[in-house]
Amino acid sequence: MEKGGQMEIWVFAEQRGGELHKVSLELLGKAKELASKGGRVTAVLPGHDVKAISRSLINHGADRVLLADDPRLGIYRIIPYSLLLGGMIQDHRPDIFLMGATAMGVELAPRVAAKVKTGLSAHCIDLSLDSQGRLLQVVPGWGGGVVATVSCPEHRPQMATVMPGAMKALPPKEREGEIFEVAVELPDENLGPEVIEITQEKPQGLPLEKAEVVVAGGWGIGSRENWQLIQELASLLGGAVGATRPPVDEGWALEGQMIGQSGKTIRPRLYIGIGISGVMHHVVGMEGSDHIIAINSDPNAEIFETADVIVVEDFKKIIPPLIREIKNRLKKQGSSD
């Protein structure tokens, strides 16, 4: 699995419109750590007119960048991207290939894995090497509560998608690295539908990943009307609204507000979880918060195991008076200024 003692670790450099996704930088940090006992970190960068990003990839840990520049790769499409990556893997045979568990990564990774006939661990939250240099991939279990460590002893590359925010990017510094432009060989047709226009949904309020305070609500909130309490509390605290899967399914919250395995990973200074049971799928996305307050009417709620402060109570008895109290204090503060 190693070539001349040198392990080849590849990281997919995900960009849209020339803007790198932060998970790619986080993966480079982890790849650098994995390569510390003898390995080379390669960032694979498909796109069009994106050479300028290569420097940032090197400064965040890539020893080299394989740049695939072609107008047909300018806007992400699964067919050209998977053909390109599959071909590059077959040509260079890396030992490990890592991608972000982003919308792009979760679509692309299985297609690439199937093309090169290897396995894939999805939504990993940690990676390490065993004594034989095999990649150990930590994935949250399906039923919640279970974390499994898996490895793929037979096939190469060992592929994993990793949750954004689960790993830390290295602080950027001027580093030596090489940039290679690879030949892009794609068929002239059958590359899938052409993208004519992309419109972006306007973000509502403070982005979850940047907020220092997150007020998250779960299924226990019970209704769209009650959900307004979550929004009001978040706004009064200058924070962002987060959610578990059920409020998103009900349409109370947006998909982009979901925290957890299939949502975002956050590390705010304060997380307040209200009416949330604390299933592993959610907890993996918020357990890195500095301070965790959980409000749940069930004294045995799992979320209490992760929380610093627990409140066993019906949220309807806690949140409205809390909102009133914050408003009163803000009013007093305003009148004394």
Ligand X SMILES: Cc1cc2nc3c(=O)[nH]c(=O)nc-3n(C[C@H](O)[C@H](O)[C@H](O)COP(=O)(O)OP(=O)(O)OC[C@H]3O[C@@H](n4cnc5c(N)ncnc54)[C@H](O)[C@@H]3O)c2cc1C
**List of residues contacting ligand X (CB under 6 A):** 142, 144, 218-220, 244-246, 258-263, 275-277, 279, 281-282, 285, 295-298, 301, 314-316
- For ligand X, give the closer residue by CB, 54 or 244: 244
Would residue 191 be called left, alpha or beta, if left means φ above 0 and alpha means ψ between -120 and 50 degrees? Answer: alpha
55 alpha carbon, distance to own chain's centre: 22
- For ligand X, give the closer residue by CB, 39 or 217: 217
Q: CB of residue 246 vs ligand X: minimum separation in angstroms?
A: 5
CB-facing half-sphere around the CA of 337: CA atoms within 13 A: 6
Q: CB of residue 140 vs ligand X: minimum separation in angstroms?
A: 8
Residues 6+ apart with CB under 8 A from 332: none
Q: CB of residue 98 vs ligand X: minimum separation in angstroms?
A: 20
Distance CA 219, CA 243 (A): 9
Concatenated DSSP letters for 263-307?
SB----SEEEEES----HHHHTTTTT-SEEEEEES-TT-GGGGT-
- For ligand X, give the closer residue by CB, 83 or 253: 253
- For ligand X, give the closer residue by CB, 159 or 295: 295
- For ligand X, give the closer residue by CB, 110 or 133: 110
**By three-state DSSP, how is residue 241 classified?**
strand
Q: CB of residue 15 vs ligand X: minimum separation in angstroms?
A: 24
Distance CA 196, CA 40 (A): 38
Q: CB of residue 144 vs ligand X: minimum separation in angstroms?
A: 5
